[in-house]
Amino acid sequence: MIVVVGPSSEERAQRAAELASTEGLSMVAPYDDAATITGQGTVGLEIVEQLAWIEAVARRATDGPAVRGGPATGTLESFTVLVPVGGGGLASGVAVAVKSLRPDAVVLGVEPELAADARDSLVQGRIVTWSAEQVGRTIADGQRTAHIGQIPFAHLRRLLDGIVTVSEDEIARAMVRASREARLVLEPS
């Protein structure tokens, strides 16, 4: 079943709750829910797992400056994880998982300039709400949330090393580059 509703997060949540109630369905929160965040944290676990593989290759290939401790203990000197921030569930889950396993990792949130409510929230120390008209300007439709969730906000305040914003042009160029160089078709978020 496809149900069309308005563009705001509130409209979508209200309609989903109505359907869950009338149809006997379960409501799965997209980002402001501990179980959802835990599930999204598996992305962070996978990143750390793949990093271990990269470090093993580095140990065999070199004992140069990119590897701390040389071939016997080789770990990458540092690594940075970039994670998109919409409602904050994915970013929160990834930050919790990565920082738990690799506290030395740098985890940065990435948000469109035209939907930077999470950046504003982190800077102001409170959840800031943007209007649907404001966030609707970005092509990164997965990041068109009016505000970050309360649970993700608490995690990101504690664990995120920073947040960067990107322009619409940078988003478009990244999509083109991924398509040309990696043969990947990316969603803008």
| DSSP per-residue codes, 77-101 | S--EEEEE-SSSHHHHHHHHHHHHH
SS3 108: strand
First to last CA, the chain: 25
CB of 165 closer than 8 Å to CB of 118:
no
Specify whether 85 is located in the same domain as 45.
Answer: yes
More confident residue, 135 or 28: 135
Q: Is residue 23 part of a domain?
A: yes
Same domain for 5 and 55?
no
| Beta carbons of 10 and 146 less than 8 angstroms apart | yes
The structural domain count of the chain equals 2
Looking at the fold, whether 173 and 125 belong to one and the same domain comes out as: yes
Model pTM score: 0.83
User: Is residue 74 over pLDDT 70?
Assistant: no
Instruction: Please check whether residue 26 lies inside any domain of the structure.
Output: yes
pLDDT given for residue 108 in this prediction: 97
Residue pLDDT, tens place only, 75-96: 566 789 999 999 999 999 999 9
Query: Is 188 within a domain?
Result: no
Residue 110 CA from chain centroid, whole number:
7
Domain match, 11 and 54 both: no
> What is the rounded average pLDDT of the residues 119-136?
96
Whether residues 157 and 97 fall in one domain: yes
Same domain, 65 and 128: yes
What confidence score (pLDDT) does residue 76 get?
A: 61
Q: How confident is the model at residue 64 (pLDDT cuts 50, 70, 90)?
A: low
In the predicted structure, residue 67 carries a pLDDT above the cut 60? no
Q: Are residues 101 and 25 in the same domain?
A: no
Q: What is the mean pLDDT of the chain?
A: 90
Answer yes or no: is 187 within a domain: no
Are 11 and 84 within one domain?
A: no
- pLDDT surpassing 60 at residue 35: yes
Report whether pLDDT(148) > 90.
yes
Instruction: Using the structure block, give the residue that is written with the tokens 């619409």.
Output: 168
Residue 102 and residue 164 share a domain: yes
Beta-strand ranges (E) seen in the chain are: 67-68, 75-76, 80-84, 106-112, 162-166
| pLDDT of 7 over the 80 cut | no
Say which range, 55-59, 94-98, 185-189, has the weakest mean pLDDT. Answer: 55-59
20 & 98 share domain = no
Domain assignment of residue 133, given as a range: 34-182
Based on the domain organization, do 49 and 136 belong to the same domain?
Answer: yes
Same domain membership, residue 136 and residue 76 = yes
